[in-house]
Amino acid sequence: MTEVMTVPRRAPQQKRGEETVQRILDAVRTLLCTIPLEFVTTSRIAKEAGLSVGALYRFYPDKQTIFDAVAVRHVAQFRECLEIGVMHPLRQEWTTHGPRINAAKFLEDVISSYVAYMDRCPDFRALALGQLISAGTKAREASPISGLPSVLKSFLLEWMRVPSTPELEMMLSVASEAGERLLAYAYEQPSREARARIIEEMKRMLVGYLFVRQG
């Protein structure tokens, strides 16, 4: 993985350019679901998209940038799923029953939603678990400031009234890294049952780390 955050060579200015970008992203998603990662090349992506390699390079300088673009879109889509499936019911519960927050259930629901999303989107799973997202893009999309851990940070700050401190930032970074590694380990298991057991243990560990010690 490259250490810097990748960016497209150019943003599409017209509908035709937008359609070309979508064809490229759709092509790489299809390839990630059907062939080994090492065979996903810019030439193969261009062929799958029905484009010349030159047309692909007009928008993306390399394969890594395309991978990152796919991952960024998936993160945005997952956050929409999280808003609908977890955050909205939480707000309804608050409105109906008052401030009785089950922190453990919240985190378990977030993890379950993420696992379900990866199951539905094998191309994102390949990128995330295969460490194919550049370190720079991952830092932007998965930092406590702007990425998925920000959901947990917002929950701690707004719903549990935990103060924002450097220690909290460290805890979120550690929880994010531990969760990522344990998810990769879970998906290496030979059966869905074994994977589910690892994920349940991961939930217990992260709940204890993030919430029990918060008191």
Give residue limits of the domains in the chain.
Answer: 71-212
pLDDT of 22 strictly over 70: yes
Euclidean distance between CA atoms 45 and 48, whole angstroms:
5
- Residue 144 gets which letter from DSSP? T
Give pLDDT tens digits for 156-181: 888 888 899 999 989 998 998 899 99
The answer to whether the CB of 24 falls within 8 A of the CB of 49 is: yes
Residue 4, pLDDT > 70, answer no
CB 41 within 8 A of CB 24: no
- Alpha carbons 186 and 202: distance in angstroms, whole number: 9
pLDDT score at 1: 46
Say if CB 106 and CB 155 are below 8 A apart: yes
3-state secondary structure of 143: coil
CA dist., res. 178 & res. 181, Å (int): 5
* pLDDT over 90 (residue 10): no
Q: What is the pLDDT of residue 16?
A: 80
Residue pair 123/142 in contact by the 8 Å Cβ criterion: no
Tokens of 138: 């991952």
Segment 30-43, tens digit of pLDDT: 999 999 888 999 99
For residue 129, give both structure tokens.
Answer: 């678990």
80 pLDDT above the threshold of 70: yes
Instruction: Count CA within 13 A, CB hemisphere, residue 41.
Output: 5
Burial class of residue 145 (count of CB atoms within 10 Å of its CB; 0-12, 13-18, 19+): exposed
H helix or E strand, kind and range, residue 201: helix 192-207
